[in-house]
Chains A and B, each alone.
Chain A
Amino acid sequence: MESFFIRYRNVLVLLTLLVVQIVGLAVQVRRTSAGSNSLDLQDGAGVRLIRLWANAVVSPPEKLIHQAKLGAATFWNQYIDLRHTQQDNQELQKTIDRLRLEQASLLEDAKQGQRLQALLNFQEKYIYKTVAAQAIGSSGSDQSRVFTIDKGSNYGLKPDMAVITPDGIIGKVREVFPSTAQVLEINDQSSGAGVILETTRIRGILRGNAIGQPQIVGILADQRIQPGEKVLTAGGDLIFPRGLPVGVVEKIVRDPEPDRDGFIDVVIKPAAHLDRLDEVLVITATEARFSEQQQQDLATSEALKGPEAAAIEEQKKASAIMAERLPGLIDPNLPPDQQPLLDSSNPSIVTRPPQAVHPDRFTPGGANQAAPGSGSPTAPDADKKAATPGATANPATPATPQNPATPRRKPQP
C-alpha cells in the first residue's frame, strides 16, 4: 500500500488538489432566481479570508507604486508644468459662476419637488456624503471587471455602496478590507443595477457581457428604443440613487437565450470611462435632504442670484429705451393714441414713398388733386381714401400727403 502512494504520489496530489477546488466551487456557487447567468455574490467566511489574504499581499505594492506615480505627477503638475494655469483658473471660475446660477434657477424646482414628494409620502434620496478614492489595481483578468481602491472600512466603506464619477456610475463596492476595497464594475457579468431609459421609461437590469460592455438584459422588444437614448439609474436597487447617468443606447441585440424569443438586450455605451478610471467617489450616505455642503452652495447661489437678477433687469430697461428710439416704430409727430403700433384700425404699417418733385397724374394722390372741388386731405384721410376702391386712379397705390404749394398740371386731352 505504501508503495502505491509513493509510486503515484504526483497524480494523487494532483487529484487531491483538483477535488478540493471542485468541492470549493460547489460550496461557493449558489444559483439565484435571476437566471442561469447569475451567481450569489455573498462569500462565505473561508472564501472571504482567502480574498483578504490575497488583497493583503497585492495591495501594499500597488499602493506604493500608485503613491510614487502620484507623487511624480503632483511634482510635475504643481511645480513645473504651470503653463495656462491662470487661463484655466479663469475659465473654471466662469464655469463655477455659470453652474451656480443654473443651480439657483433649479433650486425652486427642487424645493417644489420635495414638497410634492412629502405630500405623496415619497422621499427622494440625495447623495449626502461621498468618499473620494483612487483606483490602485485591477483583478488582472479580462473576464473579471473588478478593481481595487485605496479606501476601505477605515473610511466607512461598506459592501453594496455605489461608486460613481461625475460622468456616470461605475459600480458597487463588493469586498471591503481595512484599507482597501474591491469595486465590481457595471460591465462585469455578475453585476446588476436597476436602470431606466430616459425617453421611453422602460426599466431593466444592467449587467456586463463577456467583452466588457454593459447591457440591459431580457427586456421585451420595443420599436421605440433607439440608439442614442439616455439611460439613467432607476433607484429601485437600493444601491444607486435615482437619476444618475449610466450611458446611452449603443445598439439592440436579440437575447441569446434560445427560449426567449421577443426579448432583447440593449447594449449601452457607458457615460463614465470604465477602462481608464483614476479617481472615483463612493456614496457612503444618502438622505432625504441636502447635505451641509450642498446647502452652503445653494446659499451662495442664492446670494449670487440677486445681483445677477438686478443686472438682467437693467439690461431689459436699456433694451426698452433702445426700442423706443428705433425709427419707424414711433412717429413723434403723432399723438400717442394714433401711433402706428397702437392704432388698431391700421392692420399693417404702410411704408410711405418719398414725395415727388414734379407730380403728374401718375403721382400718387395726383388724381385727387386734379378733381375739381377737392380739398387738401390730411394724410390719414388720404390713407383712408387710398384704401377705398375707386377713390383714386390707382387704388393699389398708397396715398401720400399732399403739398398745397405743389403746381398742378391739367390733364392733357
Chain B
Amino acid sequence: MNTMSGDFRRDLEIRRYPILVYALTPLVALVLQAWLPRFLAGYAWFDLPLVVTVYFALVQRIPIQGTIMGAGMGLFEDALTGHAIGVNGIAKTVVGFLASSVGTRIDVDNHTIRLGLTFLLSLLSSAIYVAVYRMLLGLRLEWSWVIELIKSVANTLIALVLFPALDRLQIRD
C-alpha cells in the first residue's frame, strides 16, 4: 500500500467537483436505494449510500466532512426504514471517518486499493449495524453473514463502475 504524509497528499491532490455532483450524487444514491428493491423482490443486496460515502470520504480526505456525510446518509436511510433512527447512522458515521482518515494516507487513484477498502468498510458497516441492534438496543436480529458477504461483494462491484465514472466529473485545473 502506498503511504505518505497526509498533509503532503492533501496539498498535492485536492479534488474538486461541481456543486451539482456533491448535491445530486448522494440524492440519486438514496432514491435508487429506495426505488430499486421494489424490482429486485428481496434481493437488494447492495448499499449505494455506503459506496457514495466511501468515495467522497476517500477523495476529499477531510475526516470531518467524511464523518458528517456518513452520519447524514445513515440517518437518511434510517428515516426511510421505519425502525429506530441512528442504527445506520452510527455505522456510516464510523465508515465515513475511517475512509477519510485512510484517504489521507494512501494513493486514492489506485483502483485496487479503493475497491479493497470498499469491501472492508462494507463488512465493517454490517458488523456495526448488528452490534448496535443486538447489543445497544438489545433486540433479536437474525443475521446471515453469507448475505453480508454477498452485499460487500456487490458494493465492490458497484464501486468498480461508479468510482471511475465519478472521477471523470472532477474539476481539473
Decide: B75 and A29 in contact? CB cutoff 8 A: no
Decide: A141 and B77 in contact? CB cutoff 8 A: yes
With A14-B67, A140-B44 already in contact, the answer to whether A29 and B38 are too (CB < 8 A) is no
Q: Which of B8-16, B82-90, B158-166 contacts A (4 or more CB under 8 A)?
A: B82-90
Could you tell me the distance between the alpha carbons of A211 and B63 in the complex, rounded to whole angstroms?
35
Contacting A at CB under 8 A, from B62-86, are 63-64, 67-68, 71, 75-77, 79-86
Inter-chain contacts of A17 with B (CB < 8 A): 67-68, 71, 93
With A25-B137, A29-B137 already in contact, the answer to whether A140 and B81 are too (CB < 8 A) is yes
Task: Flag whether B97 is at the interface (Cβ < 8 A).
Answer: yes
Distance in angstroms from B151 CB to nearest chain A CB is 8
Decide: A276 and B144 in contact? CB cutoff 8 A: no
Decide: B142 and A209 in contact? CB cutoff 8 A: yes
Partner of B142, one of A22, A62, A211: A211
Inter-chain contacts of B35 with A (CB < 8 A): 61-62, 65, 136-138
Decide: B85 and A62 in contact? CB cutoff 8 A: no
Decide: B87 and A25 in contact? CB cutoff 8 A: yes
Cβ-closest chain B residue relative to A174: B82
Decide: B77 and A61 in contact? CB cutoff 8 A: no
Could you tell me the distance between the alpha carbons of A88 and B42 in the complex, rounded to whole angstroms?
32
Decide: B79 and A53 in contact? CB cutoff 8 A: yes
With A36-B139, A55-B79 already in contact, the answer to whether A10 and B101 are too (CB < 8 A) is yes
Decide: B81 and A143 in contact? CB cutoff 8 A: yes
With A36-B138, A58-B34, A143-B141 already in contact, the answer to whether A175 and B68 are too (CB < 8 A) is no
Could you tell me the distance between the alpha carbons of A146 and B143 in the complex, rounded to whole angstroms?
18
Decide: A22 and B82 in contact? CB cutoff 8 A: no
Inter-chain contacts of A54 with B (CB < 8 A): 76, 79-80
With A13-B67, A65-B35 already in contact, the answer to whether A47 and B80 are too (CB < 8 A) is no
Task: Flag whether A168 is at the interface (Cβ < 8 A).
Answer: no
Decide: B80 and A146 in contact? CB cutoff 8 A: yes
Decide: A210 and B76 in contact? CB cutoff 8 A: no
Could you tell me the distance between the alpha carbons of A58 and B140 in the complex, rounded to whole angstroms?
29
Inter-chain contacts of B83 with A (CB < 8 A): 143-144, 190
Cβ-closest chain B residue relative to A50: B79
Main secondary structure of the interface of B (DSSP, over half): helix
Could you tell me the distance between the alpha carbons of A106 and B136 in the complex, rounded to whole angstroms?
54
Task: Flag whether B4 is at the interface (Cβ < 8 A).
Answer: no
Task: Flag whether A99 is at the interface (Cβ < 8 A).
Answer: no
Task: Flag whether B37 is at the interface (Cβ < 8 A).
Answer: yes
Decide: A36 and B93 in contact? CB cutoff 8 A: no
Partner of A61, one of B31, B75, B144: B31
Task: Flag whether A400 is at the interface (Cβ < 8 A).
Answer: no
Decide: B141 and A210 in contact? CB cutoff 8 A: yes
Could you tell me the distance between the alpha carbons of A209 and B42 in the complex, rounded to whole angstroms?
13
Contacting B at CB under 8 A, from A115-166, are 135-144, 146-148
Cβ-closest chain B residue relative to A183: B82
Binary CB contact string for chain A from 251 to 270 against chain B (1 if under 8 A, 0 otherwise): 00000100000000000000
Could you tell me the distance between the alpha carbons of A302 and B49 in the complex, rounded to whole angstroms?
58
Contacting A at CB under 8 A, from B32-71, are 33-35, 37-38, 41-42, 44-45, 63-64, 67-68, 71
Task: Flag whether A369 is at the interface (Cβ < 8 A).
Answer: no
Inter-chain contacts of A395 with B (CB < 8 A): none
Task: Flag whether B30 is at the interface (Cβ < 8 A).
Answer: yes
Decide: B139 and A47 in contact? CB cutoff 8 A: no
Inter-chain contacts of A14 with B (CB < 8 A): 63, 67, 93-94, 97
Task: Flag whether A285 is at the interface (Cβ < 8 A).
Answer: no
Task: Flag whether A182 is at the interface (Cβ < 8 A).
Answer: yes
Binary CB contact string for chain A from 1 to 44 against chain B (1 if under 8 A, 0 otherwise): 00000000110011001100110110011000000110101000
Decide: B41 and A138 in contact? CB cutoff 8 A: no
Cβ-closest chain B residue relative to A188: B82
Decide: B34 and A138 in contact? CB cutoff 8 A: yes
Decide: B93 and A189 in contact? CB cutoff 8 A: no
Could you tell me the distance between the alpha carbons of A65 and B141 in the complex, rounded to whole angstroms?
33
Task: Flag whether A57 is at the interface (Cβ < 8 A).
Answer: yes
Inter-chain contacts of A135 with B (CB < 8 A): 38
Task: Flag whether A361 is at the interface (Cβ < 8 A).
Answer: no
Inter-chain contacts of A58 with B (CB < 8 A): 30-31, 34, 80
Given A61-B31, A140-B34, 8 more contacts at CB 8 Å? A10-B97, A13-B68, A14-B67, A24-B85, A25-B85, A37-B140, A54-B76, A143-B81
Subset of 17 A-B contacts with CB under 8 Å: A10-B101, A18-B93, A22-B136, A24-B85, A50-B75, A51-B85, A57-B27, A62-B31, A65-B35, A138-B37, A139-B37, A139-B80, A144-B81, A147-B38, A190-B83, A209-B142, A212-B42
Question: Which B residues have a C-beta under 8 Å from some C-beta of A?
Answer: 27, 30-31, 33-35, 37-38, 41-42, 44-45, 63-64, 67-68, 71, 75-77, 79-90, 93-94, 97, 101, 129, 132, 136-144, 147
The list of the 3 closest CB pairs from A to B, nearest first, reads A210-B142, A54-B79, A144-B81
Question: Which A residues have a C-beta under 8 Å from some C-beta of B?
Answer: 9-10, 13-14, 17-18, 21-22, 24-25, 28-29, 36-37, 39, 41, 47, 50-51, 53-55, 57-58, 61-62, 65, 135-144, 146-148, 174-175, 182, 184, 188-190, 209-212, 256, 275-277
